[in-house]
Homo-oligomer: A and B are copies of this chain.
Amino acid sequence: MNIALAQLNYIIADIEGNSEKIISNINKARSAGADLVVFSELAVSGYPPDDLLDYPHFIDQCRLAIDKIASHCNGITAIVGCPMENPEETGRRLYNTACILSEGRLSGVVYKTLLPTYDVFNESRYFEVNDIFKTVEIKGRRMAVTICEDLWHEMDRFDYQDNPLALIAKDAPDIIINLSASPFNQGKMQERMEVLQKQSKAFQLPLVYVNQVGVNTDLIFDGSSVVLNRDGQTIVQLSSFKEDFVIYDTANIYEPLANTETNNIAQIYDALVFGIRDYFGKMGFKKAVLGSSGGIDSAVVQALLSDAIGSANVLAILMPSQYSSEGSVEDAKRLSELLGNPYEIIPIADVFKTFEQGLSGLFAGMSFGLAEENIQARSRAVYLMAISNKLGNILINTSNKSEMSVGYSTLYGDMCGSLSVLGDVFKTEVYQLAEYINRSGERIPEAILHKAPSAELRPDQKDSDSLPEYPVLDAILRAYVEDQVDPEHIIASGQDRAVVEKVIKLVNNSEYKRFQAPPILRVSKKAFGRGRVMPLVSKWR
């Protein structure tokens, strides 16, 4: 039996475009001699469709698309993910469904059992839980058809009560099929392989795993689909971060593939470049603009943008103030020259002075402080947004996760942008990315890598005036934000009590800033944004 794995990039709510792509891959699979072609979870609607699922006509359109796709399924069976109405009168109105399409029609459905509802996942908001556990027979083979989380009954933070595969196993399957929409984060590829291997070995069954690829705003789906043999060995491996299509012949004897070593920083680089490129592609955007300060964060974003959408499409705006060092402007110019980006210099001293004059009555007798620092950051944002509005370049945010965590950033200032590239990348990782970007030669000027980080909003300012050194800060943040470690345990792990308490207070006190932050490309297991919902009014300290 020939099974095609169609690892495709869908656009949310582009039901027509997604359907066409699915149909063209059904035809391709048939031509290549496949008996079955497997697509990913909610392929018709795109994943995650969020509250579009509340619109009845969205569901109707998905249903019509399934019928149209089915009409192309002659001489081949397709398994396609789609939201479908719950035929019962009680319970959630929808099921997250694997539609079995054959002989020109919808011949069967399999519903999802385990509905992830934590971190970035929200499926209990929309879907009813499956309670039917049977195999699907296709060309005499008994398929255990499952959807994504159905294989993940053992979780980091809790276990589901049942393993759906164990229930289907009573119906004597020959093979496991899984339709997924499993997003990337650091360590996820390995974690995912361990889950798949465990299930395959536990039930001594081959496993065909089809993940989607593509970026939906903040979520980066890496693809990386696989086939495992009954010993849990990888025998077919599809690409990461791009579409792929492979046929697996169940009659073949495949040599197990060696697990390829993965470099964490290279993966983050690939994910971010893919994240930017797919965002621009899906939105129909061509050009970007960013504030280029001469610091490491904007330099790394500028390089990533250049690699994602082309150097000529990245406009760098240098906006020195009276507090910018001469070096900063020179470094930023040199960066644009090395990367081949057009750039403009717009000093902000005049506009800063004009704001100060406008406020001179109200602020009479008060000294320079946070308000004046923020005026500079916000004046830059006004320039950047004006350029974006006028020229159509999309403003890209350059804040990193360390800053975002402690609120070391100006709301409506450097926190502006339509997408945050580094908002899930700690400062220490930003340096590693810079080194990776420079791996074959200087693209980011060495001077930028080696100077002390500074916001340059007042004379001789350094980040280290207000914050602990970044390796210490990032270690505390990783424990508190990503691993939800009790402050007392962080202190017990060897960190200074006063520093830990200060950092955690800063994190808790800056929820209001993050509430208005741009969407952030997610590359860690706990990113700011939809996966971390914190109360704004609270006494949590």
Q: Are B351 and A355 in contact (CB under 8 A)?
A: yes
Is A122's CB within 8 Å of the partner chain B? yes
Given contact pairs A160-B91, A532-B51, A486 touches B57 in the complex (Cβ within 8 A): yes
Chain B hits for A321, CB < 8 A: none
- A124 within 8 A of partner (CB): yes
Residues on the B chain within 8 Å of A375, using CB: 382, 386
**A157-B93, A359-B346, A390-B369 given; A14·B539 CB < 8 A:** yes
Q: Which residues of B contact A462 (CB under 8 A)?
A: none
Cα of A375 to Cα of B381 in the assembled complex, Å: 10
Interface positions of A from 319 to 378, Cβ below 8 Å from B: 344, 346-348, 350-351, 354-355, 357-359, 361-363, 366, 369-372, 374-375, 378
Tell yes or no: A493 within 8 A of B by CB.
no
Is the Cβ of B355 less than 8 Å from the Cβ of A538? no
Minimum Cβ distance to chain B for residue A354 (Å): 4
A491 CB-CB contact with B under 8 Å: no
A389 CB–B CB distance under 8 Å: yes
- Cα of A429 to Cα of B92 in the assembled complex, Å: 33
Q: A159-B90, A537-B279 are in contact. Are A383 and B370 (CB under 8 A)?
A: no
Q: Contact check, B159 vs A89: say whether CB atoms are below 8 A apart.
A: yes
Question: What residues of chain B lie closer than 8 Å to A46, measured between beta carbons?
Answer: 535, 538
Chain B residue with Cβ nearest A161: B90
Contact across chains for A535 and B374 when beta carbons are under 8 A apart: no
C-beta contact mask, A272-283 vs B, less than 8 Å → 1, else 0? 000000010011
> Given the complex, which residues of B lie within 8 Å of A90, measured CB to CB?
158-161
- A415 to B519 CA separation, bound complex (whole angstroms): 17
Q: Which residues of B contact A13 (CB under 8 A)?
A: 535, 538-540
- The answer to the question of A385 belonging to the interface, with a C-beta cut-off of 8 Å to chain B, is yes
18 A–B contacts from the bound complex (CB under 8 Å): A12-B537, A13-B540, A50-B533, A52-B534, A52-B535, A90-B161, A122-B533, A216-B535, A282-B537, A283-B537, A362-B387, A362-B391, A375-B382, A375-B386, A412-B416, A418-B512, A516-B516, A530-B533
Chain A residues in contact with chain B, CB under 8 A?
Answer: 11-14, 17, 46, 48-52, 54-58, 89-93, 117-118, 122, 124-125, 157-161, 215-217, 279, 282-283, 344, 346-348, 350-351, 354-355, 357-359, 361-363, 366, 369-372, 374-375, 378-379, 381-383, 385-387, 389-391, 411-412, 416, 418, 484, 486-488, 512, 515-519, 530, 532-540
Given A54-B484, A93-B157, A359-B383, 17 extra CB contacts under 8 A: A11-B538, A14-B539, A46-B538, A48-B535, A52-B538, A56-B486, A91-B158, A93-B158, A216-B537, A282-B537, A350-B354, A366-B390, A370-B390, A374-B385, A412-B416, A418-B512, A516-B518
